[in-house]
């Protein structure tokens, strides 16, 4: 299904499974691990973990979730030793092992913390990239709702340097809503009072019935045409847009009205340029507005031909905007 970035206390997530950043002995620890033990029921979760006894770094085991959720999946992340001791492979294995275990137990929704990025010292930026890579790889061939949960914005990234260029782009392109409204009024007035070459005001030459009869493509019609023209399949399109199969099946209805986040995600998935994106958005009644930070960020990625939906969402999350 999808990968979502969520700002929340992971013990409050209403998913079938919650992932515990465990130690090899599967004992209650501090931080996320300690909170999960407390909310699930310390004694009963301790007994369940003691019955298993051990989990290797990079591997995962499963127990009942008791008072917390249906299942708790325990995975042991690597301790950071500089990055040259197989840490990346082990960290990726944590996510893949957990997701494969969830698939085996027919779990449809799961929530992860950012593994190893706490007391184990893994650099957050790198930990996030590995989490995205692993989860994205799994979702290419599997249907599951996957959440990556951060307690607050400060726990998201340790280094904002790579967002500097985007920050400058937002600053240079952002218009206050009132300013944009004035611009639209100016454009509309200029259009209404335009004088053709003959020197007389233009007359409306088409009846409303004709305009309705010969209206342009709907969002769905243009979307499906673009998918065919670009040689994509429906599956790779909705996977790249980070939307699920059920939603995409609704979009195939020619009269379907998408939400703007869905429309923007599909612009990314189809690898549209700015003009193409504006055309597709217009069929649903939307625009790329410079009074909207989300729109500016999406425009930045389209302009730079970066069509990775997870990087788009990471950036939206960083700038405190709703993700697609």
- To the question of pTM greater than 0.85 for the whole model, the response is no
- Return the pLDDT at 118: 87
Cα-based angle 307, 310, 315 (whole degrees, multiple of 5): 95
- Return the pLDDT at 216: 78
- Return the pLDDT at 71: 98
Give the N- to C-terminal CA distance of the chain in Å, as an integer: 13
Instruction: Single out the residue of 284, 303, 282, 300 nearest to residue 292, CA to CA.
Output: 300
- Return the pLDDT at 219: 94
- Return the pLDDT at 20: 97
DSSP 32-45: HHHHHHHHH-HHHH
Fold of 2-159: 3.40.220
Cα-based angle 146, 148, 151 (whole degrees, multiple of 5): 145
Point out the residues of the chain with pLDDT beneath 50. 183-204, 211, 214
- Domain residue ranges in the chain: 2-159, 163-318
What's the order of all strands across the beta sheet hosting 2-7? 2-7, 145-150, 109-112, 17-22, 71-76, 60-64
Q: For 233-273, where are the alpha helices, taking DSSP H only?
A: 234-240, 245-251, 260-269
CB-based contacts of 273, cutoff 8 Å, min separation 6: 302, 303, 305
- Return the pLDDT at 177: 59
Residue 291: CA count within 13 A, CB half-sphere: 10
Q: Are 320 and 203 in contact (CB under 8 A)?
A: no
CB-based contacts of 32, cutoff 8 Å, min separation 6: 10, 20, 21, 113, 118
- Return the pLDDT at 157: 60
Main-chain phi, psi angles of 9, to 5 degrees: -80, 120
Which two tokens mark 240?
Answer: 């790249």
- Return the pLDDT at 188: 47
């Amino acid at each position: 299904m999808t990968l979502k970035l969520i700002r929340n206390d992971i013990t409050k997530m209403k998913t079938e499974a919650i992932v515990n950043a465990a130690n090899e002995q599967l004992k209650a620890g501090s931080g996320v691990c300690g909170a999960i033990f407390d909310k699930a029921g310390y004694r009963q979760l301790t007994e369940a973990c003691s019955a298993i006894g051990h989990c290797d770094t990079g591997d995962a085991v499963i127990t009942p979730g008791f008072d917390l959720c249906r299942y708790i999946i325990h995975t042991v992340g690597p301790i950071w030793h500089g990055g040259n001791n197989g840490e990346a492979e082990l960290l990726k294995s944590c996510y893949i092992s957990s997701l494969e275990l969830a698939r085996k137990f027919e779990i449809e929704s799961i929530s992860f913390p950012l593994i190893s990025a706490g007391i184990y010292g893994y650099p957050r930026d790198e930990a996030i990239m590995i989490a995205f890579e692993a989860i994205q790889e799994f979702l290419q061939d599997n249907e599951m709702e996957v959440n990556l949960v951060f307690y607050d914005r400060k726990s998201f990234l340790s280094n904002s340097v790579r967002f500097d260029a985007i920050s400058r782009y937002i600053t240079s392109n952002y218009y206050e809503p009132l300013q944009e409204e004035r611009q639209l009024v100016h454009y509309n007035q200029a259009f209404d009072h335009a004088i053709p070459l003959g020197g007389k005001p233009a007359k409306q030459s088409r009846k409303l019935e004709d305009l309705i009869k010969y209206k342009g493509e709907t969002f769905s019609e243009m979307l499906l045409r673009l998918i065919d023209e670009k040689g994509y399949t429906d599956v790779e399109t909705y996977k790249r847009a980070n939307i699920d199969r059920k939603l995409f099946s609704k979009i195939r209805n020619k009269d379907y009205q998408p939400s703007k986040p869905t429309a923007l995600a599909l612009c990314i998935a189809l690898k549209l340029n700015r003009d193409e994106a504006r055309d597709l958005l217009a069929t649903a009644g939307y625009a790329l507005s410079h009074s909207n930070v989300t729109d500016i960020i999406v425009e930045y990625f389209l302009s730079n031909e970066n069509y990775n939906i997870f990087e788009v969402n990471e950036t939206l999350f960083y700038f405190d905007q709703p993700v697609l």
